[in-house]
């Protein structure tokens, strides 16, 4: 302890210099817009690169499980296609990210950082502007809805997770088409709440909850979860439905970014209609 204090006293000038340099740096970033923008951009690239390196190490140890899941998914998708189509030369065009003329395009992407224990949870992805990723694109996996992209840099993007109370997803009961919105109540990482389902709707435990298709972000019919509990609050005309998520957010590896190529048209038209 005596040696440590002696070291501090002996080098106190150097420590004071570093301290004041840090204060000066904070003041520059805080009160100068250009420098702040440069700092935020640089820190995003640095943190994105760091997250990607850590993710690469973690991914190495789960490759066997990932390959098994991908093989199972491919087998399921092939089982949904007619034999004549599987034997045609056009079958393999399904693999490409953007070789489709349908309304939605899908880009495979890797999760390089993911929070699940915070009040507002976010996901960092390994693709950005240069890969065609933009804010407001949806994110899904083979198991269901993941979130929505909110910010991008050239090589990375961040997204609101379903486990974030700021995100609401337009959803419906698959069997009856009654629709409402799904949001997280900041309790269990395995559950969300489906609101706005009217009291006359026939809701059963185990019913599937899927995307409604009413937003410009997600296609219709993407799985969100299954009904686990139904409450009818006193004095209200809507159910409060607890939904068990189909996605385990503690095990995210690969996801797909959904691009609605008509999104800008739809949003512009709806905005003009409201005006």
- Is there a domain that residue 215 lies in? yes
Low pLDDT (below 50) residues in the chain: 75, 78-79, 83-100
- Is there a domain that residue 71 lies in? no
Q: Please, what is the average pLDDT of the chain?
A: 81
Q: How many domains does the chain have?
A: 1
In order, the DSSP letters of 76-141 are HHHHTS-HHHHTSGGGGGGGSSS---SSEEEEEEEEEEE--SSSS-EEEES--GGGT--TT-EEEE
- Is there a domain that residue 1 lies in? no
Owning domain of residue 216: 102-275
pTM, to two decimals: 0.68
- Is there a domain that residue 93 lies in? no
- Is there a domain that residue 243 lies in? yes
pLDDT of residue 47: 61
Q: Which of 187, 145, 189, 182 is nearest to 167 (CA)?
A: 182
- Is there a domain that residue 18 lies in? no
pLDDT of residue 83: 43
pLDDT of residue 274: 87
- Is there a domain that residue 224 lies in? yes
> Could you tell me if 170 and 179 are in contact, meaning their C-beta atoms sit under 8 angstroms apart?
yes
Cα–Cα distance for residue pair 181/55, rounded to 1 Å: 32
Q: Give the CATH number of the domain where residue 140 resides.
A: 2.40.10.340
- Is there a domain that residue 247 lies in? yes
Per-residue model confidence as pLDDT tens digits over 94-127: 334 444 457 888 888 899 999 999 999 999 999 9
């Amino acid at each position: 302890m005596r040696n440590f204090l002696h070291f501090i006293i002996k080098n106190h000038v150097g420590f004071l210099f570093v301290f004041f340099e840090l204060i000066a740096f904070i003041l520059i970033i805080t009160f100068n817009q250009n420098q702040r923008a440069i700092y935020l951009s640089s820190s995003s690239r640095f943190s994105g690169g760091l997250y990607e390196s850590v993710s690469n190490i973690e991914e190495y140890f789960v490759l066997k499980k990932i390959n098994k899941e991908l093989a199972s998914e491919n087998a399921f998708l092939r089982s949904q296609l007619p034999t004549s189509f599987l034997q045609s030369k056009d079958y393999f065009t399904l693999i490409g990210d953007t070789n489709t003329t349908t309304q939605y395009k899908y880009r495979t992407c890797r999760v390089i950082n993911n929070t699940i224990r915070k009040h507002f949870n976010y996901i960092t992805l390994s693709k950005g502007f240069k890969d065609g990723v933009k804010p407001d694109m949806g994110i899904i996996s083979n198991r269901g809805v993941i979130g929505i992209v909110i910010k991008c840099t050239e090589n990375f993007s961040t997204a609101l997770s379903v486990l974030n109370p700021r995100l609401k997803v337009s959803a419906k009961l698959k069997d009856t088409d009654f629709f409402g919105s799904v949001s997280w109540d900041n309790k269990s990482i395995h559950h969300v709440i489906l609101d706005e389902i009217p009291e006359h709707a026939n809701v059963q435990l185990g019913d599937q909850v899927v995307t409604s298709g009413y937003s410009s972000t997600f296609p219709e019919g993407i799985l969100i979860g299954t009904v686990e509990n139904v409450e009818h609050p006193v004095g209200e005309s809507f159910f409060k439905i607890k939904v068990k998520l189909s996605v385990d957010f503690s095990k995210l590896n690969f996801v797909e970014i959904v691009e609605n190529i008509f999104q800008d048209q739809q949003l512009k038209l709806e905005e003009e209609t409201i005006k």
